[in-house]
Amino acid sequence: MVYIRGRKGEKERRTEVKEERKPPERLDIDLEKLKKAYKDIEEANRQIRESHMEMILNLAIAAEYKDPDTGSHILRISDYAAEVARALGLAAEEVEILRYASPMHDIGKLGIPDKILQKPGKLDPDEWEIMKQHPLIGARIFQNSKSPLLRAASQIALSHHEQYDGNGYPSGLKGEDIPLFGRIVTMVDIFDAIVSKRCYKSAASFREGMDYVKSLSGTYLDPKLVDLFVRIEGKIKEIYEANTTIQQFLSEFGGEESLRDGG
Ligand SMILES: [Fe+2]
Ligand SMILES: [Fe+2]
């Protein structure tokens, strides 16, 4: 028989297997304590997540008030965007990331002078150039973030004024080169701007809002997303109607205000 170096005999291998299968030493684990520790960790995580979200929403509200728009706009954006993401079949985690990142699309307005944001008339070309910086400023605010949520917020802030046909800003990205989250937020931001009352215009009806979104298919907006938006019209209307009540309440107390850059 030829001896092959390194090859072990059957007996030797069986002994090794037996040794590997030695029963583990009994660990004295208190299952109840373990369950409680797990619950405590879960609760701590929930609290961290909640305060994280609260801080993010407050930041977004700060940017919107400076514009000045109201907090209700960003909450509606969040609901519409999450609904579109769900209908697209995105994973539940992605839907939640979009839900919480989308309200920060205009966070960069924190870096735009009030005299431009709150100018009652039209912006002159120089002022408009400054206004067009807000996506870059917004992206910069979150650019070094490690959390997927804030990275998404940075991406959305940067891309929510890009246009499907390449005529948007700041980069003139075209079609699917524009990140999906950015394309979704652009669409729901425009829809909400149209159906909301502003200091310079009354609110368009739900139907007019839907028709306006359809009219921008393939130019400003991604046609596939517009088709989807039309398909889930029932769900969009539910959010619209729920928020119409909030809007009516806010307008009685002087809440709904202006918005300048289309969303
Ligand atoms: Fe914007
Ligand atoms: Fe907006």
Q: What's the whole-number mean pLDDT along residues 230-250?
A: 83
- What is the pLDDT, as a whole number, of residue 58? 73
Q: Is residue 39 part of a domain?
A: no
HEC readout, 26-69 = CCCCCHHHHHHHHHHHHHHHHHHHHHHHHHHHHHHHHHHHHCCC
Query: Are 237 and 206 spatial neighbours (Cβ–Cβ below 8 Å)?
Result: yes
Q: In the numeric block, which tokens belong to residue 188?
A: 């729901």
Residue 150 Ramachandran class (φ > 0 left, ψ -120 to 50 alpha, else beta): alpha
Q: How far is the CA of 208 from the centre of ligand 1 (A)?
A: 22
Least distant ligand from the CA of 76: 2
How far away, in angstroms, is 222 Cα from ligand 1 center? 17
One-letter amino acid for residue 139 of the chain: A
Question: What is the sign of the dihedral through the CA atoms of 224, 226, 230 and 234?
Answer: positive
Task: Label residues 176-197 b or e (16+ Cβ within 10 Å = b).
Answer: eebbbbbbbbbbbbbbbbbbbb
pLDDT computed for residue 208 by the predictor? 97
Ligand nearest to the CA of residue 134, numbered in listed order: 1
Ligand 2: distance of its center to the CA of 193 in Å?
Answer: 7
pLDDT (0 to 100) of residue 46: 79
Give residue 96 CA to ligand 1 midpoint distance, Å: 21
CA 191 / ligand 2 centre spacing (Å):
10
125 preceded by a cis bond (ω within 30 of 0): no
Ligand 1 centroid – CA 142 distance (Å) = 16
Q: Which ligand is nearest to the CA of 162?
A: 1
- Among the ranges given (53-67, 70-84, 100-114), the one the predictor scored with the smallest mean pLDDT: 53-67
Separation of CA 199 and ligand 1 centre (Å): 18
How many Å lie between the centroid of ligand 1 and the Cα of residue 135? 7
- Residues 96-153 have pLDDT tens digits of 999 989 988 988 988 999 888 878 788 899 999 999 999 999 999 888 888 888 899 9
* Percent of the chain surpassing pLDDT 70: 77
Distance 105 CA to ligand 1 centre (A): 6
Q: How many domains does the chain have?
A: 1
pLDDT digits (tens, 9 = 90+) for 167-204: 999 999 999 999 999 999 999 999 999 998 776 678 89
In a domain, 137, yes or no: yes
For residue 75, give the ligand nearest its CA.
2
Using the mean position of ligand 2's atoms as its centre, give its distance from the Cα of residue 49 in Å: 24
pLDDT at site 67: 59
Highest mean pLDDT of the ranges 6-10, 60-64, 97-101, 205-209: 205-209
In a domain, residue 95? The reply is yes
Instruction: Decide if 23 is inside a domain.
Output: no
> Does position 26 have pLDDT exceeding 90, yes or no?
no
Ligand 2 centroid from CA 20, angstroms: 62
Interval between CA 173 and ligand 2 midpoint (Å): 20
Residue at 19 is within a domain: no
**Residue in 153, 151, 232, 146 with CA at minimum distance from that of residue 191:** 232
Q: Domain holding 169: CATH number?
A: 1.10.3210.10
Residue 263 Cα to ligand 2 middle (Å) = 4
Nearest ligand to residue 71 Cα: 2
pTM as predicted: 0.76
Is the C-alpha dihedral spanning 260, 204, 174, 228 positive or negative?
A: positive
Residue 159 lies in a domain: yes
Tokens of 11: 């007996």
Average pLDDT on 215-219 reads: 98
Which of 198-202, 218-222, 243-247, 254-258 has the lowest average pLDDT?
254-258
What is the radius of gyration, based on Cα positions, of the chain? 26
Instruction: Write the CB contacts of 178 (distance below 8 Å, at least 6 apart in sequence).
Output: 159, 162, 164, 168, 186, 222
Tell me which residue range forms the domain holding 150: 55-252
Closest ligand to C-alpha of residue 136 is 1
The closest ligand to the CA of 156 turns out to be: 1
Max Cα distance, the chain (Å): 98
Name the burial class of residue 53, with classes exposed (0-12), middle (13-18) and buried (19+) by CB atoms within 10 angstroms of its CB.
Answer: middle
Rounded CA gap, 198 and 188, in Å? 17
Identify whether 164 is part of a domain.
yes
Q: What is the pLDDT of residue 209?
A: 97
Alpha-carbon dihedral angle through residues 6, 11, 15, 16, given to the nearest 10 degrees: 20
Cα(186) to centroid(ligand 1), Å = 9
* pLDDT value for 154: 94
In a domain, 15, yes or no: no
pLDDT at 259 exceeding the cut of 50: no
